[in-house]
Amino acid sequence: MIMFLMALSLGMFGLAVTAMAFGAATRNEQTPDAPIQPRLELAPERFFADAHKSFHRQPHVPLEVLLLQIEQHVRLEQAAAESFISLPSPEVLNCRTQSPLVH
Amino acid sequence: MPDTRPDLLKSMSAGDADAVLALGSRLTLSSGAVLFELGIQADQLYVIDRGRVNLTLPMQVFGHEEDILVEERVAGQTLGWSALIPPHRFTLKATAQIDTELLAFRRMALLDYFAAHPDVGYAVVGNVAATVGQRLQVFQAMWLREMKRVLELSRGTGSAA
């Protein structure tokens, strides 16, 4: 009987130690109240045209004025290209114009 | 003495030039009138006698389709060479910028005349090739300038010309 009680006590002691160890091992695992939502940090748009102020239509510039600026740009660019054809050189090819769309 | 004839008739005798001119019919456009639309059948070649013609392509500008100037043609210059070059469809829209007078040459009338006078046909086709080649060279240079600008913008180096 004594032997049986000793074995039972040791068994209970072992079970208690095992339960404590299990509790210690799982203590940091917390169930979140709500699932964690992945956060996507979007970089600001850097499409090349957005980086240049000339490509933004100013709200006070009427469409007709913008179209005139485009026409002026085309004329200046065509004149620059024709100058290059008349006298081909890298300097003439890359010369700057007074186009309002590129300043 | 510089050759003041229309570019279509350069490098040919005065008699041949007059014979070709006689094939044309005179056409008057008021300011803003459309000579031809993009994509339509090209049956006539034109030489500007007086005035100015805008050649445009459609482009979306802030949600609006607008005719964007591609080239200007003035007195003495040829336009509508698609009439002689397959697939005979206009690749631009032509609009008179101011009151304009032109000579219009029907393709079949020209080809019939060239068949009978090959030397004239050779000269005219050479002049058309010069017009086409000049446009190609201009646009090669313009394209390269735009590419340079795109590269500078993409690198954030700011104002480019």
Q: Given a cut of 50, is residue A88 above it in pLDDT? A: yes
| Residue B81: pLDDT over 90 | yes
Hey, is the C-beta of A65 within 8 angstroms of any chain B C-beta? no
Decide: helix, strand or coil at residue B98: coil
State the smallest CA–CA distance between residue A51 and chain B in angstroms. Answer: 7
Using CA atoms, how far apart are residues B140 and A71, in angstroms rounded to an integer?
19
For residue A55, the 8-state DSSP code is: G
Q: pTM of whole model > 0.80?
A: no
Confidence of residue A16 (pLDDT cuts 50, 70, 90): low
State whether A77 and B139 contact (CB < 8 Å).
Answer: no
Segment among A48-52, B85-89, B151-155 with least mean pLDDT: A48-52
What burial letters (b/e) apply to B104-137, b meaning 16+ CB within 10 Å?
bbebebbeebbeeeeebbebbeebbeebeeeeee
Contact (CB, 8 A) for B94 and B80: yes
Q: Are residues B142 and A49, on separate chains, in Cβ contact within 8 Å?
A: no
| Chain A nearest-CA residue for B56 | A71
Cβ-based neighbours of A74, under 8 Å, separated by 6 or more:
B68, B69, B70
Kindly tell me if the per-residue pLDDT of A7 is higher than 80. Answer: no
Angstrom distance (rounded) from CA A99 to CA A1: 108
Alpha carbon distance, N-terminus to C-terminus of chain A: 103
Per-residue pLDDT averaged across A38-56, rounded?
50
CA–CA dist B61, B160 (Å, integer): 21
Q: Do A51 and B139 touch (CB under 8 A)?
A: no
Q: Mean pLDDT throughout B94-119?
A: 98
Most confident of A27-36, A67-76, B77-86: B77-86
Model confidence pLDDT, tens digit, residues B109-146: 999 999 999 999 999 999 999 999 999 999 999 999 99
CA distance B85 to B8: 15
| β-strands B52-61, B64-74 pairing | antiparallel
| A80 close contact with B: CB closer than 8 A | yes
Asked if B61 and A63 come within 8 Å (Cβ–Cβ), the reply is yes
Whether pLDDT at B160 is above 50: no
Beta-carbon contacts below 8 Å between A and B: 66
Interface check A72 vs B, CB under 8 A: no
Q: Report pLDDT for B37.
A: 97
For residue range A66-85, list pLDDT tens digits in order. 889 889 999 999 999 999 98
| Chain B touched by A92 (CB under 8 Å) | no
Q: What is the mean pLDDT of chain B?
A: 93
Question: Is B72 touching A (CB cutoff 8 A)?
Answer: yes
* Three-state secondary structure call for residue A37: coil
Q: Mean pLDDT throughout A48-75?
A: 72
> Per-residue confidence at A60, pLDDT binned at 50, 70, 90?
confident
Q: Which among B62, B68, B146 is the nearest to A57, CB-wise?
A: B62
Residue A56 sits at the chain B interface (C-beta within 8 Å): no
